Amino acid sequence: MPWLPGRDWIPGAAPNLTTTFYWSTTMTHTTDTSLDDADFPALVAEMVADQAPRVFAVVLEYGEQIDAQIAGWGMALDESAYVTTVDGRTQYVLTEPENALKYFPSPANTSAYLVWATHPAQSA
């Protein structure tokens, strides 16, 4: 069964690779004047910054702040999310980032939660 937008993709239900969905984002401007060569890279950088996915970690916390580990990394897009285990063996395509928590088991006295990453340049 192919993966469809609005549905989580789970292991064992691999997407049909012949039915791949491509999304394209283009930069548009409404002026009739051509862009200066120096302006174009700045506009592209602005487009990328505006549309960059948000990065998150799936963290497993043991006990009450006794220990923790990162179990997976993900990125949130406008209408979906992607997460992979830290070893890269398992990947999930999700309808929303919080759904990742369903796929990371939390044994007794363990909690799984999302932590949103901040790029070092953003925190300065």
Q: What does the pLDDT read at residue 16?
A: 42
Q: Could you give the dihedral angle defined by the CA atoms of residues 54, 57, 63 and 65, in that order, rounded to the nearest 10 degrees?
A: -60
Side-chain-side CA neighbours of residue 114 (13 Å): 21
Q: What does the pLDDT read at residue 28?
A: 53
Give average pLDDT by consecutive 10-residue segment, the chain, 124 residues: 48 43 48 65 90 95 91 95 96 96 90 88 58
Q: Is the four-CA dihedral 40, 44, 50, 55 of positive or negative sign?
A: negative
What is the domain partition of the chain in residue ranges? 41-118
